[in-house]
Structure 1
Amino acid sequence: MSEPEFSKAMHNRSFINAPIETVWSTLVATDEPLPFFFGAICQTPERKVGAKLRMVHPNGKIVMVVGEVLEFDPPNRYAHTFQMTNIDEPPCKVTYVLSEKNGGTEFDLIIENAVVGSKLLKEMKGAQGFIAGNLKALCETGRPAFSGRMVGLLGPIFGLLAKKSQRIENWPLE
């Protein structure tokens, strides 16, 4: 069996008309549903390299994503592995880079090392614009974009469709 081929890095750059501190604190918030992360609550007990993280459905019963912190350099850079719990595929790497620019923040979302042709790569390609657009709207206006509000409304249905393997007891942080 041959080794998998990994994708080239995919970049999504946007400008957010908000201070870098606002964008950073919104991006790394924990214990509240984040519309730009499809309503997930990010749980990262320790914000340091090597710490485990998970993105949990607002019902607190389903884990949507797991990973490990690879870089944490406030307020400029945060990177982690990213594995969707409903897809049996290797994780990719997600990096968020923030830079002060023109009175606001340049936001780069970089996705690397996803297997070419994988479901994860397809999901990540589709999610980049959603994440950037909803983070931008939330930081600039205090409200997510329309797409983020719709995901929030549909969240309870998504929770009902989750696989048993996604239950929180199967994905401990320790």
Structure 2
Amino acid sequence: MNSATTQINRVLIRAPKETVWNTLVKTDEALPFFFGAVCETSDGMRADVNYRMVSANRKVAMVVGRVLRFEPPDVYSHTFRMTNIDEPPVTVTYTLTEKDGGTEFELRIDDLVPGSKLAKEMVSSQGFIAKNLKSLCETGRPAFSGRMVGWLGPVFTRFAGKSQAIANWPI
């Protein structure tokens, strides 16, 4: 039997901690480092609320979960379940630490089931998230990969399954 594992990714962002934090927790616009998703919560961004990541046109729910910890500007943690993958959720924790004139961004994923579809998606996405958050905080623009996702996002939502319709995933 496979046991759950942890995956950690760290990157130094040459920006103040508050800039990184405020960018990471935005809920009012599409976030290129989260594949163009808009983060919505049931009652503001804080611990013990449900959230979902939805397409920019707000027709498709891509991710759902619950905020576990929200300690500005240091730690943000939540459960994470992709709506198109029928597997147990993982826990995602973002930790920000002032370091070397910038901010160390740590993305930790716990409870990954080795070999699962969700684990493969999550591990392969860590670099994209870190690279695009770093670029956005340092330059005001996402990396090229984040811009591409922004341009192609409307196309991708057309291929979402009916089960991913936002109405099926209330917060």
Quickly name the TM-score band, shorter chain normalised: over 0.9
Contact 1:96 1:107 in 2 (8 A): yes
Contact 1:54 1:64 in 2 (8 A): yes
Q: Give 1:103's aligned residue.
A: 101
Structure 1 Cα separation of the partners of residues 141 and 20 of structure 2:
13
Contact 1:90 1:114 in 2 (8 A): no
Instruction: From the superposition, tell whether residues 6 and 58 of structure 1 become closer, same or farther in structure 2 (CA, over 3 Å).
Output: farther
Contact 1:7 1:113 in 2 (8 A): yes
Offset at 1:47? 2.2
Aligned length: 170
Is the partner of 2:112 in helix, strand or coil? coil
Q: Give 2:150's aligned residue.
A: 152
Is the partner of 1:70 in helix, strand or coil? strand
Report 1:20-169 matches (<5 A).
Answer: 20-44=17-41, 45-169=43-167
1:111-141 deviations in Å (ceiling 9; x for gaps): 1102221100000010000000000000000
Structure 2 Cα separation of the partners of residues 50 and 6 of structure 1:
27
Amino acid at match of 2:62: M
Q: Give 2:169's aligned residue.
A: 171
In structure 1, runs of 5+ residues without a counterpart are: none
Percent identity, please. 62
Amino acid at match of 1:113: D
Is the partner of 2:130 in helix, strand or coil? helix
TM-score (norm 1): 0.95
CA RMSD of aligned residues (A): 1.0
Contact 2:5 2:113 in 1 (8 A): no
